[in-house]
Copies of this chain bind each other. A is one copy, B any other.
Amino acid sequence: MTTEERIRLQKQLVETIGLEYEKEGMQPVASRILALLMIMDKECFTFDEIIEELRISKSAASVALKMLQLRNNVEYITFPGDRKRYFRLKRVDPYHIFEESRRKMQLNIENIGKILALKANPNAPNNQFLKEIKQMMEFFIESLDQLKEAYLNRHNSSNFSS
């Protein structure tokens, strides 16, 4: 495979994976930027390179980048004597990936708790069902924490920025 061929395929992949991020609820421009930073061989893009590569406006890039930094997906570095920001993927501890789904599930557990607390008959079929869901989620979160420990023990040699 020639280099040009590879780059063409990479740009194609930016579009497909960008679309998938969109389906998961991320904004179109932010999805494309994140995909770009993951897929291309170049690991640091300047603001101008991003807007040029993706053909988006400065404002769209600015807003999306702010959001991606807030979400901890992207960071930038600078070099002395160079005002440009070099944006790149933020490399967080891999287990951080699960933090969001853990948070969501925790919220769900609390909600089910609130629902059950207001029920007249705690043993009605729906409530039995809700209780099972809650138990399953509690079991899952517990296991998640154990998994995290197990993973960290196995990989304690890695050095990431938190």
**Chain A interface residues (CB < 8 Å from chain B):** 3, 6, 9-10, 13, 17, 20, 24-25, 37-39, 41, 43, 88-89, 91, 94-95, 97-98, 101, 104, 107, 111, 114-115, 118-121, 124-126, 129-130, 132-133, 135-137, 139-140, 143, 147, 151, 155, 158
| A39: contacting residue among B13, B24, B118, B136, CB under 8 A | B118
Interface majority SS on A: helix, strand, loop or mixed? helix
Most buried by B among A17, A129, A158: A129
A41–B121 CB distance below 8 A: yes
Q: Would A118 and B9 be within 8 Å (CB), given that A89-B129, A137-B97 are in contact?
A: yes
